[in-house]
Structure formats: structure tokens, C-alpha cells
Amino acid sequence: MAFDESQLVASAQQGNRDALEQLLEHYYDFVFSICRRVIGNIDDANEATQETLISVVKHIASFKSTAKFSTWVYRIATNASLDEIRKKSRRPTTEFTEETVHPLDSKATRSLEDSLIDTLDIDNALQSLPEEFRIVLVLRDQLGTSYEEISEILEVPTGTVKSRIARARQKMKEEILGNKNHIRTVKEVNDG
């Protein structure tokens, strides 16, 4: 059956549980991805994801169809991630566990080593960005959100969005290439 978002949203707003479930199913991976990328830690990402889903359920009645539903959901996910980061900053730092660096894309055909390196590269590089840069990059590159939508989600001018995305990419490149060069050097030394 075709995914008719506007119909599902309307039904969900009238209390149709099945419709709401379909919407949550549809958006779950995107929401989790936002939280995972922005927060950088699976446990906290799960908390933010749960918070996002609950917020969607509780507030869907107040969603206005003049806005895009996806924009509304991503905004909630972004804010939940920021809340989680702020909460986290008030809590004692947790240990860096294996789970936090475990490759999630197990279906990928790349070697485990490559996956680990890539996942680490991206995660570490993302986490090195200031959060306002990280968010725009995730919204743009992961969700394909337009500059205008990002501007709407974050309530900043489009020019700022454009500038932040460019700076974020520049920093990502520096981080990742820097790390790769380091890894390459280590490997060359180990290989003799």
C-alpha cells in the first residue's frame, strides 16, 4: 500500500493508532540517524529517539499541515538531541564503550576494519564539530533537507545555514584526511 503521508497524518491526528504507527515506522530510521549522528553515542541517541517519538505522539494533534511533517519531526529530533547533549553535559562522563564504536551497518560489504575506520572517522569528525555545525550537516547530508527547511528547523537565516554547512564540511575534511594520513602512516610503519 502506498505511503500517503498527509492522509496518515490526518488520521493520526484523529487518534488513529495504526496511522500513527505507520508514521513512526517510516520516520524511525531518520530520527535515530539524526540523534545518533548529532549525539554520537548510542545510549543517548536511543534516549533522544524515544523522546522524539513520544513527543510526536503527544503533540501530533497540534501539528499544522501548513508545514511539512518531516520538517516538524526533524525539528523535534534535533531539539531532543540538543536536550540530550545538554543533559549529558550535566552528568558524569560515561566510559567510551565498545558499543559506541561498533559498526552499525553490518550489511555493508566492506571489511570490518574499513567499516570501523570509516565509522570512527565520521563519528569522530562529526563530534569534533561545534553542535550548530554538526546539526546542519546531519540535516543536509543525511536527510537531504533543503537550506530553507534547515533554516526553518533551526530558526536561523538561510545564509547562516549555507555558511555553516560549508564550514562544517571543511572541518570534516580536515579531520578525516588528518586521521587517514595518521592511520596510513601508522600502517606503513607497522608494515615495515
Count of residues in contact with other proteins, rule CB under 8 A:
65
The correct pick among 8, 9, 39, 76 for binding other proteins (CB under 8 A) is 76
Work out whether the CA dihedral 155, 20, 47, 116 comes out positive or negative: negative
Residue 15 contacts other proteins per CB under 8 A: yes
Q: What is the largest CA-CA distance in the chain?
A: 68
DSSP symbol at 131: H
For residue 3, the minimal CB distance to other proteins (Å) is 16
How far does CA 166 lie from the centroid of its chain?
18
Q: CA 7 to CA 17: how far, in whole Å?
A: 13
Residue 25 contacts other proteins per CB under 8 A: yes
Site string for other proteins, 42-71 (x = CB under 8 A): ----x--xxx-xxxxxxx-xx-x-xx----
Q: CA 90 to CA 87: how far, in whole Å?
A: 5
Residue 93 contacts other proteins per CB under 8 A: no
For residue 113, the minimal CB distance to other proteins (Å) is 16
Residue 33 contacts other proteins per CB under 8 A: yes
Work out whether the CA dihedral 89, 100, 130, 180 comes out positive or negative: positive
Which burial class, exposed, middle or buried, applies to 61 when counting CB atoms under 10 A from its CB (0-12, 13-18, 19+)? exposed
Write out the residues near other proteins by the rule CB under 8 A.
15, 17, 20-21, 24-25, 28-30, 32-33, 36-37, 46, 49-51, 53-59, 61-62, 64, 66-67, 72, 75-76, 79-80, 82-83, 86-87, 89, 104-105, 118, 121-122, 125-126, 137-138, 140-142, 144, 147, 155, 162-163, 165-167, 169-170, 172-173, 176-177
